[in-house]
Amino acid sequence: MTIRVWNYLDEYEDERADIMDAVETVFESGQLVFGPSVRGFESEFAEYHGLRHCVGVDNGTNALVLGLRALGVREGDEVVTVSNTAAPTVVAIDQIGAVPVFVDVRESDFLMDVDQVEAAITDRTRCLLVVHLYGQCVDMDAVQAIAERHSLPVLEDCAQSHGARQGGRLAGTFGSAAAYSFYPTKVLGGYGDGGAVATSDDGTAAALRRLRYYGMEDRYYVVGTPGHNSRLDAVQAEILRRKLTRLDAYAEGRRRVARRYEEALADTGLLLPRTAEGNEHVYYVYVVRHPRREEIMAELKSYGIALNISYPWPVHTMSGFAHLGYSEGALPVTERLAGEIFSLPMYPSLPPERQDLVVKALRDVLATS
């Protein structure tokens, strides 16, 4: 058996009865679209965050697209963000014809270097899109101060940070709106695609509800701007409702796995993830760094361990984003990281004996490389 960074079957073994009951609940409800499961999940997810609204959508990428549109971002507008992220963050900006403007990340935690943001703002900037990457928050006091000074809305990409906190406050509750993905690997993941946008602003929420439903306010009548078909599936909503009650336990389980890595790998020369001050990390991925990444990953394969890289290419260097006009060297920290990082198996139901195999193999490989 190959050991991978993520395997939902370990969770499914524990939660099968609840998951299948959720499926049956929807199939027997007589309402396959929207209905009580979607409404229930939306209100419970908003309540978990202490926010007024949650609007379920079909995936995290569209949560970003709709979030940007609801916050007033249009074609030609600039959105300040990072290149050290999952490509969908940038795909979403590009999809509405807006222009991503990248700042670099910090060496210490690989998160947005907020000190660079102000210099990236121009009179065409319409939004700051922060990414709480890997499971911990960008310095939001600093972001909010800049946003207020320039009267800009802040959209939080929370696809990797469900349940993460900063200064005791949950990710997603700092900005004007927050976009979530419930893709199966995520800290709160469904058994298929899903997403949501959360906000406390009534007008933004109303815009989001129209935008996910063709642009309709009531059935069959499009008002304002034509929208998308971007509904959260009811089966996923019902599964997510059940899993939301376990979100804090999932996060704690991930921290438990992280602590075991810390204890077992501290003296190996591998650079382990650092939690920024004031942050509570949820370890969506456990990203380590080593200059001889390729060798290490290749050797681990012979132990039956297949690791991932999140992410091997900075977005601004991808040919699909050549039209943005960035050249190599533009974002030195981001580019350096991409060549040295890799991820260890991380999910709350990772069996300890399988984690031990990974640790043992890594220690062997690092002792000889």
Ligand X SMILES: *Cc1c(COP(=O)(O)O)cnc(C)c1O
By CB under 6 A, residue 253 contacts ligand X? no
By CB under 6 A, residue 160 contacts ligand X? yes
By CB under 6 A, residue 22 contacts ligand X? no
Which residue in this structure is represented by tokens 């999140």? 310
According to DSSP, the residues that pair with 154 across neighbouring strands are: 128
249 φψ region: left (φ > 0), alpha (ψ -120 to 50), beta (else): alpha
By CB under 6 A, residue 279 contacts ligand X? no
354 φψ region: left (φ > 0), alpha (ψ -120 to 50), beta (else): alpha
Q: Under rule CB under 6 A, which residues in 101-140 are in contact with ligand X?
A: 131
What's the Cα-to-Cα distance from 312 to each of 6, 153, 187, 293, rounded to whole Å?
A: 18, 30, 21, 11
- Give the single-character DSSP code of 316: G
Q: Under rule CB under 6 A, which residues in 174-203 are in contact with ligand X?
A: 181, 183, 193, 195
Give the active site residue among 186, 243, 301, 360. Answer: 186
Among 3, 51, 86, 128, binds ligand X (CB under 6 A): 86
- Give the single-character DSSP code of 157: E
Among 157, 280, 299, 335, binds ligand X (CB under 6 A): 157
> Are the C-beta atoms of 349 and 253 separated by less than 8 Å?
yes
By CB under 6 A, residue 308 contacts ligand X? no
> Are the C-beta atoms of 190 and 238 separated by less than 8 Å?
no
Tell me whether residue 186 is one of the annotated catalytic residues.
yes
Q: Under rule CB under 6 A, which residues in 30-59 are in contact with ligand X?
A: 59
By CB under 6 A, residue 60 contacts ligand X? yes
Least distance (Å) between residue 185 CB and ligand X:
8
By CB under 6 A, residue 346 contacts ligand X? no
> Are the C-beta atoms of 156 and 171 separated by less than 8 Å?
yes
> Which residues does the annotation mark as catalytic?
186
Report the interface residues with ligand X, using CB under 6 A: 59-61, 85-86, 88-89, 131, 157, 159-160, 181, 183, 193, 195
